[in-house]
Amino acid sequence: MTANFVYALSASALLGAPTLGALGYHAMTGDPSARPLSQTVEKLRTYTGGYREGIQVTLLVGTNAKLRETADDMARSLHRAFRAKGVDAHVTIKPVANSTRVRVAFQAGASKFKPVSYAAAPRSIRSVVEAYRISR
């Protein structure tokens, strides 16, 4: 009985040691990426200072545009496309008065890309991601 208790206690200590180490590191440094089991994108953004050096995507939606999907759906699609490439992008929607076009402008770090139509945006995503990775 005592031997089983010692084995169970030893196994628990071995399994819990990495978590306790990461929690101790988080407590000393405040780095949320080291906090076990609770890392979120929002916490990492707060710790790293937001999107200043990340990928900024501006969805320019004309107020007179006839849309097949909502602007929010388009923004989600753009965000998912960048996540599929392994990067996180901040997508903002900006209405453009007296316009019928929907365009997308990208900025990756210091690199700015001219606005392209929403239909052409998927072809631009790969080059924006490459520019972002090169600038890091």
pLDDT for 20-29, tens place per residue? 887 788 777 7
The predicted-structure confidence for 28-71, as pLDDT tens digits, reads as follows 777 666 666 555 555 555 554 454 457 999 999 999 999 889 99
CA 96 to centroid of chain Cα atoms = 26
The pTM of the whole model exceeds 0.85: no
- Does residue 76 contact residue 110 with C-beta atoms inside 8 Å? no
What domains can you pick out in the chain, each with its CATH number? Answer: 2-46 (no CATH), 51-135 (3.40.30.60)
Q: How many CA atoms lie within 13 A of 78 on its CB side?
A: 30
